[in-house]
Amino acid sequence: MSVDASPSTVSQPTNLEAVARNGSRFRRMAVRIPTYLADVRENPAWLPMFMLARTMPGRRLHWALSAKYKPSQGQQDSMFGPLDASAVADALSSDGIFTGLQMPARIQQEIGNFARTVPCFGNFDRSLEFVAPRHREAEARFDRSLLSGHFFERSMRSPGVRAIQADPLLIDIARRYLGAGARLITTRIWWSFPTSGASEADRSLASLDKFHFDLDDWRMLKFFFNLVDVDEGTGPHVFVKGSHNRRKARHQYTLLVGHPADDVLDYYGADQAVTLTGPAGSGFVEDPFGFHMGTVPVTKPRLMMEVGFGVSRPSRRRFYGEPVLRK
């Protein structure tokens, strides 16, 4: 298994409670409002999803009405080897997460080289363009902290990114878990950087340092890949096992998707928080309705890839993970 999530390495994010308590929850939400407004303008059907998909009755109803997937016999060759897609879907149903994906080294290296040479956009802002190895210099040039570097549609120039996105194992797992209507809704690669002075708004947009659940679609599945060696200092992703199918009422009937760590961990148990450290190329797949977050790197930058599946048509902007920024 490539992802380091064995019980001995599962850490309880002791400093996260303090981090999560800092700052206003509403300020974190406010930064997302321009994106929400754009979503509803682009697709009015987004609004009922946004209101109802956060409730367990709404989700269960949508799930019950969805077309079931009938897997065909035989499995197509995958770069991830002969993994049993049905066992992965079972793990997702019970825990909300499956760890143990490993991409070939040549693919990980190609994407790593791509991300070190092609300019990315700092803090999701297309006017803050720089190449990752010049991060410190870029912070000085733009006179602001740069917490993340996204590639948006540029990601698709990388043959490795395209190959992972198209790997038959991913859609097979997605259909088994989400149903026959599963479709690709996001592909992105991005850096998160050690930096001081990142604002609450920048951390919120980058989904860092606060447990939250995703509400981009009625039902979703996200594959994440660590594209550098990720240890505790590299800002690992954290997921709360079992939080995808059990939700206290206060976390359903609220517009907030982010909640303080003590609130989340008291309910599910601190021992359910899995910290996804692992070598370059390791990956995991999760139901992002479960509580999760990235953490801010402290020692070295983290390069990540996400391939997301859902059940509705995404906008082009959403596909590449681009929010609408308030100027």
**Residue 310 is a binding residue for ligand AKG (CB under 6 A):** no
Quick one: 80 or 239, whose CB is closer to ligand AKG? Answer: 239
Q: What is the 3-state secondary structure (H, E, C) of the chain?
A: CCCECCCCCCCCCCCHHHHHHCCCHHHHHHCCHHHHHHHHHHCCCHHHHHHHCCCHHHHHHHHHCCCCCCCCCCCCCCCCCCCCHHHHHHHHHHHCEEEEEECCHHHHHHHHHHHHHCCEEECCCCCCEECHHHHHHHHHHHCCCCCEEECHHHHHHCHHHHHHHCCHHHHHHHHHHHCCCCEEEEEEEEEECCCCCCCHHHHHHCCECCEECCCCCCCCEEEEEECCCECHHHCCCEEECCCCCCCCHHHHCCCCCEECHHHHHHHHCHHHEEECEECCCEEEEECCCCCEEECCCCCCCEEEEEEEEECCCCCHHHHCCCCCCCC
Smallest gap from Cβ 289 to ligand AKG, in A, equals 11
Smallest gap from Cβ 65 to ligand AKG, in A, equals 26
Smallest gap from Cβ 226 to ligand AKG, in A, equals 9
* Number of shown-chain residues binding ligand AKG (CB under 6 A): 9
From candidates 288, 297, 301, 323, binder to ligand AKG by CB under 6 A: 288
Which segment (40-48, 89-97, 264-272, 285-293) binds ligand AKG by CB under 6 A? 285-293
Smallest gap from Cβ 292 to ligand AKG, in A, equals 5
**Residue 292 is a binding residue for ligand AKG (CB under 6 A):** yes
Task: Provide the mask over 199-238, with x wherever binding to ligand AKG is found by CB under 6 A and - wherever it is not.
Answer: --------x------x----------------------x-
Rg (CA), the chain: 19
Quick one: 114 or 213, whose CB is closer to ligand AKG? Answer: 213
Quick one: 304 or 311, whose CB is closer to ligand AKG? Answer: 304
Dist CA 144 CA 193 (whole Å) = 13
C-alpha dihedral over 211, 294, 49, 325, to 10 degrees? 110
Quick one: 139 or 214, whose CB is closer to ligand AKG? Answer: 214
From candidates 293, 303, 305, 311, binder to ligand AKG by CB under 6 A: 293
Smallest gap from Cβ 182 to ligand AKG, in A, equals 18
Which segment (45-53, 96-104, 242-250, 288-296) binds ligand AKG by CB under 6 A? 288-296
Which residues, including other chains, have CB under 8 Å from residue 216's CB and lie 6 or more apart? 185, 186, 308, 310, 314, 318
Quick one: 182 or 185, whose CB is closer to ligand AKG? Answer: 185
Quick one: 71 or 304, whose CB is closer to ligand AKG? Answer: 304
Which segment (37-45, 90-98, 130-138, 290-298) binds ligand AKG by CB under 6 A? 290-298
Smallest gap from Cβ 237 to ligand AKG, in A, equals 4
Which segment (5-13, 32-40, 83-91, 292-300) binds ligand AKG by CB under 6 A? 292-300
From candidates 294, 301, 310, 314, binder to ligand AKG by CB under 6 A: 294
Residue with smallest beta-carbon separation from ligand AKG: 294
**Strands of 302-310's sheet, edge to edge?**
97-102, 282-286, 221-226, 302-310, 183-192, 148-150, 120-122, 129-130
Q: By the criterion CB under 6 A, which residues form the site for ligand AKG? A: 207, 214, 237, 288, 292-294, 304, 306
